[in-house]
Amino acid sequence: MRNFWNKLVTTLEMIKFEHTLFALPFAFLGAILAAGGLPSMWQIAWITVAMFGARSAAMTFNRIIDIDFDAANPRTANRELPSGKLSIGFAWAFLFVSISIFLLASYMLNWLTFALSPIALLSVLGYSYAKRYTAFAHLLLGWALSISPTAAWIAVRGAIDSEIPLLLSLVVFMWTAGFDVMYACQDYEFDKKAGLRSIPARFGIKNSLWIARLFHLQAFIALLLLYFVTGLGWPSLAGVLLVGALLVYQHTLVSAKNLSRMNAAFFTTNAFVSVILFISFSLAVFIAE
């Protein structure tokens, strides 16, 4: 039994389960906006299962595909696969189980979510190859994460019948691309030597931090548009302003000469962004009911 729990904990570490906070609140927010309140428990349950399956598949596939790069990079050499904590065979098995869970959840929601599920799956898995071919892999990651709010809207309504989910997805798209560019600055030297493509490897750390700021400015503009389009009350405006301040604060933590506070900028700050928007916009929806 102890071995089972140890393996479970190691598996959750491999897929960075705690980072679900980045995407799951946006999926729930998309569902709440679609329902104009609380979706059914059936919908909430299967949206949660679908998110877990998709994210687990994406992270596991990324770890499998990048095992050689991870082993060669001092920052990632201790990850679960290159260090031997988990076997490749186990990772492949976990990947197929995760994909099956995602497809089942999509089927249980409605026909359109199931029909579109292969596109979502290809998007979240395809990102793993992006850095081999394009410096703009960060935008592909943004696309992969941005699917969740619109997918949750479809899960509730069975259609894309409003610009609201698309604006929320645009927020996630630019926000994700921005913080991924920032995070990739840590691997500037390794990416250059390994021949991997990234915005920092192509444009340098200083320029890349400015590109990340531009992406986050675009995310904030999309967030303002979302506020005006939804017509929700003061809690959503408070959330928009808090997130704007948080994005600015995030960029004060790092500079081209000092990336030592990247973990605070990446993990702590980004977890707050998704939670703040979920709470503020959801509260505004419930007040408006």
Tens digit of pLDDT for each residue in 12-69?
Answer: 677 776 666 667 899 999 999 999 999 999 999 999 999 999 988 888 888 888 888 7
- pLDDT on residue 289: 67
If one compares 289 and 77, the residue with the highest pLDDT of the two is 77
Q: Measured between alpha carbons, how far is 246 from 231 in angstroms, rounded to an integer?
A: 23
Q: What is the mean pLDDT of the chain?
A: 88
- What pLDDT shows up at residue 265? 67
Note the pLDDT tens digit of each residue in 262-277: 776 666 777 789 899 9
Tell me: the pLDDT tens digits for 175-231? 999 988 988 888 878 777 777 788 888 889 999 999 999 999 999 999 999 999 999
pLDDT surpasses 60 at 1: no
Question: What does the DSSP assignment read for the chain?
Answer: -HHHHHHHHHHHHHTTGGGHHHHHHHHHHHHHHHHTSPPPHHHHHHHHHHHHHHHHHHHHHHHHHTHHHHHHSTTTTTSTTTTTSS-HHHHHHHHHHHHHHHHHHHHHH-HHHHHHHHHHHHHHHHHHHHTTT-TTHHHHHHHHHHHHHHHHHHHHHSS--SSHHHHHHHHHHHHHHHHHHHHHGGGHHHHHHHT---HHHHH-HHHHHHHHHHHHHHHHHHHHHHHHHHT--HHHHHHHHHHHHHHHHHHHS-BTTB-TTHHIIIIIHHHHHHHHHHHHHHHHHHHH-
pLDDT at 47: 96
Q: What domains sit in the chain, N to C, each tagged with a CATH number?
A: 2-288 (1.10.357.140)
> Is residue 136 very low, low, confident or very high in pLDDT (cuts 50, 70, 90)?
confident
Higher-pLDDT residue of 90 and 4 is 90
Q: Write the Ramachandran bin of 59: left for phi over 0, alpha for psi from -120 to 50, otherwise beta.
A: alpha
- pLDDT at position 2 is 58
Instruction: Please give the share of the chain, as a percent, with pLDDT higher than 90.
Output: 52
The reported pLDDT for the residue numbered 19 is: 66
pLDDT tens digit string along 91-101?
899 899 999 99
pLDDT higher than threshold 60 for residue 161: yes
**Of 163 and 198, more confident:** 163
265 HSE (CA, 13 A, CB side): 28
